[in-house]
């Protein structure tokens, strides 16, 4: 039988990089406990965080009994690359920084004490994804490490998967499902034997509802596939009823169990259509979703089960029914939580922002997708595999399409029954060929923050639906950076106030609810997260778009907006409690609640009664008096249960300046940077293929001194961005013009082409 030994304690860690540490003891290291992340501070504080090669070491002493077994080291994840050595010998590596991997130890072990050394590297490798993204690329052994002690005969542990056993389901009739169990058994001995594969399914009461067996001739590798029917199963119905069966799959030889997998599994059907939307078990539901990164204040991404439990509790509290687990494979424990709590999961890989110029086939993205699908295959909560996120930021061409198509094809090959998805940046045209590849399309839309106005969100979705009426669409990201210190009576774009976040998200929710063809959306983000080089709203090192702060201590007002829209658990909440010092006598008070009957009190006097089903209720022109003003809201649900919330507001004579975000002087990329160029009377020209143009990559322009001079004449101010070197191999001026960040007038492209198109290649 399999035994699992935790290997998280007594590791020696050093940031000093020496190849001798594969064999020799680390000198001057520190003792750490896993999970461990070396960017737990600098990865969240707005500095150049440490990226490099670091080492971990641990001594392994085995009992004579264990030495006779088959031993595998399981590394939950190594960010971003991991190389494992046993007694100085290289035994395996991972170039997938968010996936679990295993190495077989037996060929490298010696009697007595053995040295395990793991080199972990989070520096940039131009053929390992992500190459560029808006989050910290944390380094470390940031998940559990385990020793697996196995018999000679066991399920396959080195097929890039997790269980070595795969469960698949197919609905055969109104009350019948087919359960397919397949995989491979490995026989490490030289003796073929006969064995029995036993599949047993039991319900919540531990009653066996299915038991099947299959005789196997176990040679070195033996594939198996067993199909059975299960009648009248209780369905897994998302948050309404996340019913899970226990599926035990074992290998037995002469009455002895050699290996066993015990998995929780739910039966359900998934479908998506442009007309009826997303269907779970044939019933249309709106995807009320949030996105989540896997980090936490002060620990980086070395989060524990307690952290993950806390995150799930908060996500459940607002009533979400779906989670986009961004932008990479998450801990298997969190997928388990999603199964148990009925969360529909968008799972994805870090094929983000820019493709690899070093590897045109983007093989690492394929490798990461294979591991994600195989390792998370048995989680019924996962409804789609995401194959790319904003991969066209710098370039969109035939090679892009080929890469995305290869990923989609691999997903369908490994898992034909789940949906495929992608998340496009706003600049991808509605009629782009890209939108035809996956089963559903998501757009990351930030109208009213990075570009445009809030109202443009609905206009863009309507436009997409007119152009692509048969493509199921949702909003895969939307949000605004918010520092809960900042407040305003007149919230505006980029003021970072709680009040603007509330307006923005209220508009988004109304937009989705008013459009039946929109599958739903994913709030960006449930929690603030580390983005080491960002400076947002007076705070460094973090993306502040969360509904909850990175330390999970402050639930911003928008958190309660979603709870009012989505949750069935009654509550009342008065928004604006951190806007405590008010310098106007008359104030509008926003109440967020899913209770229709509300009473509002000021200084214990009944001020107003509200009867409204609307999640957002407003008390207008509430008059404050000098000093403290005590506000209390009392809600009574249909059962007569009372819910209350209270805040204290101070009427002050002057504005509290601590509530105002003071914008720093704009950088060189100012709004009208192009005004120094003459854009009057610009006439289109016919481009010559033999000469340079705005369609060539920046890197191609740099191969010619004259073409490079033209680029620098217009865009020298962009070369100081740290991302410039990463993108110049795939970015063109034409592509830059489609991104709001660069603010390039259409006329300027013609002016530049007049200069480039006389320079021969």
Residue 122 dihedral angles phi and psi, to the nearest 5°: -115, 20
- Please state the pTM of the whole predicted model: 0.95
Q: Is residue 158 part of a domain?
A: no
pLDDT digit string (tens) for 3-24? Answer: 999 999 999 999 999 999 999 9
pLDDT digit string (tens) for 57-95? Answer: 999 998 878 788 999 999 999 999 999 999 999 999 999
Nearest by Cα to 56 from 74, 29, 89, 20: 29
The average pLDDT across 153-167 equals: 97
- Predicted local distance difference test score (pLDDT) of residue 192: 95
Residue 668 pLDDT level (bands cut at 50, 70, 90): very low
- 565 and 703 together in one domain: no
- 688 and 565 together in one domain: no
Bin 276: left if φ > 0, else alpha if -120 < ψ < 50, else beta.
Answer: alpha
- 525 and 420 together in one domain: yes
Question: Residue 348 and residue 440: Cα distance in Å, rounded?
Answer: 14
Nearest by Cα to 718 from 309, 353, 394, 474: 394
* CATH code for position 610: 2.60.40.10
Comparing 218-227, 228-237, 247-256, 665-674, the range with the smallest average pLDDT is: 665-674
Instruction: Answer for the pair 654, 627: CB distance below 8 angstroms, yes or no.
Output: no
| DSSP at 235 | P
- 639 and 682 together in one domain: no
Secondary structure class of 229 (helix, strand, coil): strand
Q: Is residue 447 part of a domain?
A: yes
Last residue of a domain, one of 569, 604, 637: 569
* CATH code for position 498: 3.20.20.80
Last residue of a domain, one of 116, 150, 184: 150
| 171 Cβ contact partners less than 8 Å away, ≥ 6 residues apart | 177, 178, 269
- 282 and 229 together in one domain: no
The distance of Cα 125 from the centroid of its chain, to the nearest Å, equals 21
CB atoms within 10 A of CB 405: 16
pLDDT digit string (tens) for 458-482? Answer: 999 999 999 999 999 999 999 999 9
Task: Answer yes or no: is pLDDT of 667 > 60.
Answer: no
Q: Is residue 664 part of a domain?
A: no
> HSE (CB half, 13 Å, CA atoms) of 560?
23
Nearest by Cα to 741 from 528, 455, 425: 425
- 552 and 619 together in one domain: no
Instruction: Answer for the pair 152, 248: CB distance below 8 angstroms, yes or no.
Output: no
pLDDT digit string (tens) for 608-642? Answer: 999 999 999 999 999 999 999 999 999 999 999 99
- Predicted local distance difference test score (pLDDT) of residue 233: 97
Question: Residue 391 and residue 403: Cα distance in Å, rounded?
Answer: 10
Q: Is residue 157 part of a domain?
A: no
Bin 367: left if φ > 0, else alpha if -120 < ψ < 50, else beta.
Answer: alpha
What residue spans of 631-704 are helical by DSSP H?
Answer: 698-702
Residue 669 pLDDT level (bands cut at 50, 70, 90): very low
Instruction: Answer for the pair 49, 300: CB distance below 8 angstroms, yes or no.
Output: no
The CA R_g of the chain, rounded to the nearest whole Å, is: 28
CB atoms within 10 A of CB 10: 12
Question: Residue 26 and residue 116: Cα distance in Å, rounded?
Answer: 12
Q: Is residue 57 part of a domain?
A: yes
Question: Residue 438 and residue 422: Cα distance in Å, rounded?
Answer: 7
- 226 and 78 together in one domain: no
- 464 and 330 together in one domain: yes
Mean pLDDT (the chain) is 95
| DSSP at 151 | -
Question: Residue 724 and residue 71: Cα distance in Å, rounded?
Answer: 46
Nearest by Cα to 362 from 374, 352, 348, 372: 352
What residue spans of 469-537 are helical by DSSP H?
Answer: 498-513
Degrees to nearest 5, angle at CA 154 with 374 and 84: 65
Q: Which range of residues forms the domain containing residue 741?
A: 673-756
Beta bridge partners of 626: 651
| 46 Cβ contact partners less than 8 Å away, ≥ 6 residues apart | 532, 533, 534, 535, 539, 540, 541, 542
Nearest by Cα to 550 from 36, 38, 35, 44: 44
Nearest by Cα to 96 from 28, 56, 143: 143
What residue spans of 435-584 are helical by DSSP H?
Answer: 456-467, 498-513, 557-566
- 86 and 43 together in one domain: yes
Question: Residue 111 and residue 91: Cα distance in Å, rounded?
Answer: 17
Last residue of a domain, one of 265, 295, 330: 265
Question: Residue 357 and residue 341: Cα distance in Å, rounded?
Answer: 41
Secondary structure class of 227 (helix, strand, coil): strand
Number of domains observed in the structure of the chain: 5
**Which secondary structure element, helix H or strand E, spans residue 104, and what is its range?**
strand 101-104
Catalytic residues: 390
Question: Residue 353 and residue 339: Cα distance in Å, rounded?
Answer: 30
Longest dimension (CA), the chain: 89
- 432 and 531 together in one domain: yes
| 603 Cβ contact partners less than 8 Å away, ≥ 6 residues apart | 629, 630
The average pLDDT across 587-614 equals: 97
- 293 and 330 together in one domain: yes
Task: Answer yes or no: is pLDDT of 49 > 70.
Answer: yes
- Predicted local distance difference test score (pLDDT) of residue 185: 98
Residue 117 dihedral angles phi and psi, to the nearest 5°: -125, 130
Q: Is residue 386 part of a domain?
A: yes
pLDDT digit string (tens) for 199-217? Answer: 999 999 999 999 999 999 9
- Predicted local distance difference test score (pLDDT) of residue 563: 98
Task: Answer yes or no: is pLDDT of 666 > 80.
Answer: no
Q: Is residue 575 part of a domain?
A: no
Measured in residues, the chain has a length of: 761
- Predicted local distance difference test score (pLDDT) of residue 419: 98
Secondary structure class of 419 (helix, strand, coil): strand
Question: Residue 195 and residue 371: Cα distance in Å, rounded?
Answer: 28
Q: Is residue 160 part of a domain?
A: no
Comparing 463-477, 496-510, 677-691, the range with the smallest average pLDDT is: 677-691
> HSE (CB half, 13 Å, CA atoms) of 6?
8
* CATH code for position 29: 2.60.120.260
Distance between first and last Cα of the chain: 67
- 504 and 418 together in one domain: yes
């Amino acid at each position: 039988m399999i035994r699992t030994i935790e290997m998280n304690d007594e590791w020696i860690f050093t940031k000093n990089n020496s190849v001798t540490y594969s064999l020799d003891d680390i000198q001057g290291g520190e003792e750490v406990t896993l999970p461990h992340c070396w960017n737990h501070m600098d990865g969240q504080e707005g500095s150049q965080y440490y990226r490099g090669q670091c080492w971990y070491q641990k001594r392994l002493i085995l009992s004579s009994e264990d030495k006779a077994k088959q031993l595998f080291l399981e590394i939950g994840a190594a960010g971003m690359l991991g190389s494992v050595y046993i007694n100085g010998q290289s035994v395996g590596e991972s170039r997938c920084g968010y996936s679990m991997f295993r190495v077989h130890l037996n060929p490298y072990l010696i009697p007595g004490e053995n040295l395990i050394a793991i080199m972990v590297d989070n520096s940039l490798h131009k053929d390992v994804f992500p190459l560029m993204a808006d989050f910290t690329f944390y380094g470390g052994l940031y998940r559990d490490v385990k020793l697996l002690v196995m018999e000679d005969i066991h399920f396959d542990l080195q097929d890039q998967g997790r269980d070595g056993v795969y469960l698949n389901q197919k609905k055969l009739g109104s009350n019948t499902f087919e359960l397919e169990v397949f995989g491979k058994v490995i026989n490490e001995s030289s003796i073929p034997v006969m064995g029995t594969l036993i599949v047993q399914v039991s319900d919540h009461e531990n009653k066996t509802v299915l038991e099947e067996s299959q005789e196997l001739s176990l040679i070195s590798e033996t594939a198996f596939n067993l199909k059975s029917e299960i009648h009248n199963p209780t369905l897994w119905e998302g948050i309404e009823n996340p019913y899970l069966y226990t599926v035990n799959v074992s290998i037995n030889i002469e009455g002895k169990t050699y290996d066993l997998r015990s998995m929780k599994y739910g039966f359900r059907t998934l479908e998506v259509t442009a007309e009826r939307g997303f269907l779970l078990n044939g019933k249309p539901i709106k995807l009320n979703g949030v996105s989540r990164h896997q980090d936490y204040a002060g620990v980086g991404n070395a989060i524990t089960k307690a952290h993950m439990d806390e995150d799930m509790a908060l996500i459940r509290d607002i009533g979400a029914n779906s989670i986009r687990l961004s932008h990479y494979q998450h801990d298997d424990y969190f997928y388990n939580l999603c199964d148990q709590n009925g969360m529909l999961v968008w799972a994805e890989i870090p094929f983000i922002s820019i493709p690899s110029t070093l590897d045109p086939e983007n093989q690492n993205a394929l490798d990461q997708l294979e591991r994600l699908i195989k390792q998370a295959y048995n989680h019924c909560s996962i409804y789609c595999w995401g194959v790319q996120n904003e991969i066209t930021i710098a370039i969109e061409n035939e090679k892009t399409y080929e890469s995305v198509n290869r990923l989609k094809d691999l997903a369908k090959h490994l898992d034909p029954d789940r949906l495929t998805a992608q998340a496009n940046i706003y600049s991808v045209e509605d009629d782009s060929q890209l939108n035809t590849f996956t089963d559903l399309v998501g757009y990351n839309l930030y109208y009213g923050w990075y570009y445009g106005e809030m109202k443009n969100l609905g206009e863009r979705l309507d436009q997409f639906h007119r152009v692509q009426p048969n493509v199921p669409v949702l909003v895969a990201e939307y949000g605004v950076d918010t520092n809960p210190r900042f407040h305003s009576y007149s919230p505006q774009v980029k003021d970072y106030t709680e009040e603007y976040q509330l307006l923005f998200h209220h508009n988004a929710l109304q937009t989705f609810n008013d459009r039946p063809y929109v599958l739903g959306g994913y709030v960006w983000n449930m929690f603030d997260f580390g983005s080491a080089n960002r400076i947002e709203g007076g705070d460094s090192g973090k993306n502040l778009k969360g509904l909850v702060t990175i330390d999970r201590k402050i639930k911003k007002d928008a958190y309660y907006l979603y709870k009012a829209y989505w949750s069935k658990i009654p509550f009342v909440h008065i928004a604006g409690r951190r806007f405590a010092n008010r310098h106007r006598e008359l104030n509008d008070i926003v109440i967020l609640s899913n209770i229709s009957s509300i009473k509002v009190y000021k200084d214990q006097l009944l001020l107003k009664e509200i009867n409204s089903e609307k999640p957002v209720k407003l008390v207008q022109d509430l008059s404050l008096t000098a000093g403290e003003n005590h506000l209390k809201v009392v809600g009574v649900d249909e059962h007569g249960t009372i819910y209350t919330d209270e805040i204290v507001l101070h009427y002050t004579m002057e504005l509290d300046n601590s509530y105002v975000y003071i914008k720093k002087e704009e950088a060189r990329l100012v709004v009208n940077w192009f005004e120094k160029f003459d854009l009057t009377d610009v006439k289109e020209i016919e481009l010559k293929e033999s000469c340079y143009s705005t369609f060539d990559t920046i890197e191609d322009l740099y191969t010619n001194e004259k073409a490079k001079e033209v680029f620098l004449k217009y865009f020298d101010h962009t070369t100081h961005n740290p991302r410039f070197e990463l993108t110049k191999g795939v970015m063109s001026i034409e592509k830059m013009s489609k991104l709001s960040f660069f603010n390039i007038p259409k006329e300027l492209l013609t002016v530049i082409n007049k200069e480039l198109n006389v320079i021969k290649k």
